[in-house]
Amino acid sequence: MKKTLLVMGGDRRMEYASERLADTFEVYTYGFAKSRPIWEIKQADIVVLPYLSFSEGYLNAPELSQKIPDVSVLELLKYGGTLFGGGLSESFLSYCAERCAKVHDFFDDEELTLKNALLTAEGAVEIILRETDISVDGSSAAILGFGRVGKACAKALSALGARASVSARSETAREAARELGYSPCGFLDEDMLKSADTVINTVPKNILGRDELMLMKKDCLVLDLASKPYGTDFEAAKELGIKALTAPGLPGKTAPKTAGYLIAERIIETEEAVENGLPEI
């Protein structure tokens, strides 16, 4: 008998994840336009939450009119069942521990995170092409931060012919950028900001304030890929006439099928490892 699996909320990538998971599990969904009624099961063996599971303590389910508190989702999980989600808080994890649930946080999965960074970079390129009036080839791109997303953006833009400058606090990060063929700069280097056609921020701290924005070209595009609270003073950017955009959840918008299938395949691999007595992924 197949295990029952409930996918709750999220964007289009979770709908595609449900589609792929149905090959292995008895799948139910909640929070989509077309959902299999959850009252057909009382509790599921496995509950899958969105890649970013909660916002301000409520399930991330944009298609639902009502708010679902985080702890409520556990009522649909069998005692001792397995839960998959992303960005799970310590308080929510304490609720999970009380139910003896096995918990897997997508953000702790290095392979999945790296693949999502590549999808995010692809989405960033799509936005840059749409929102600017110049070619990426030959343009100047400043990338703030050199973590997974920063590295993926530098790689994607360089492949299209952009001159990628990497702004990082760490000398180790700057040296890594240099070895990969990018131009390393000190953090928020003034010359870099003045010459950039596009500034991509990946640092989730308020680093692009009025002073930094005033250094930029009037037609510079600021694309903030950081998680909340982001890193840009958007009000100052608006007053200065600089286009500044956020782009949360890019994989779910620009490549939902690929992103959803990646999530589903990691869940299937993890459950198969458990079934076969292997270390969990």
Radius of gyration of the chain (CA): 21
State the pTM of this model. 0.90
Domain ranges of the chain: 4-108+255-275, 114-248
DSSP state of 164: E
Question: Hey, what CATH topology would domain 4-108+255-275 get?
Answer: Rossmann fold (3.40.50)
Answer yes or no: CATH 3.10.690.10 is held by domain 114-248.
no
What H or E segment, with its residue span, contains residue 238? Answer: helix 234-240
Determine the angle formed by the axes of helices 110-131 and 256-275, rounding to 10 degrees: 180
pLDDT value, residue 88: 94
In angstroms, the Cα distances linking 193 to 78, 93, 175 are 53, 41, 20
**Is-contact 13 54, C-beta < 8 A?**
no
pLDDT value, residue 159: 97
In angstroms, the Cα distances linking 91 to 47, 57, 70, 86 are 18, 10, 10, 14
Q: At which residue do the structure tokens 């299937």 appear?
A: 268
From first to last of the 281 residues of the chain, give the pLDDT tens digit.
789 999 999 899 999 999 999 999 999 998 887 666 666 678 999 999 999 999 889 999 888 888 889 999 999 999 999 999 999 999 999 999 988 789 999 999 999 999 999 999 999 999 999 999 999 999 999 999 999 999 999 999 999 999 999 999 999 999 999 999 999 999 999 999 999 999 999 999 999 999 999 999 999 999 999 988 899 999 999 999 999 999 988 999 999 999 999 999 999 999 887 676 555 55
Strands 58-59 and 54-55: antiparallel
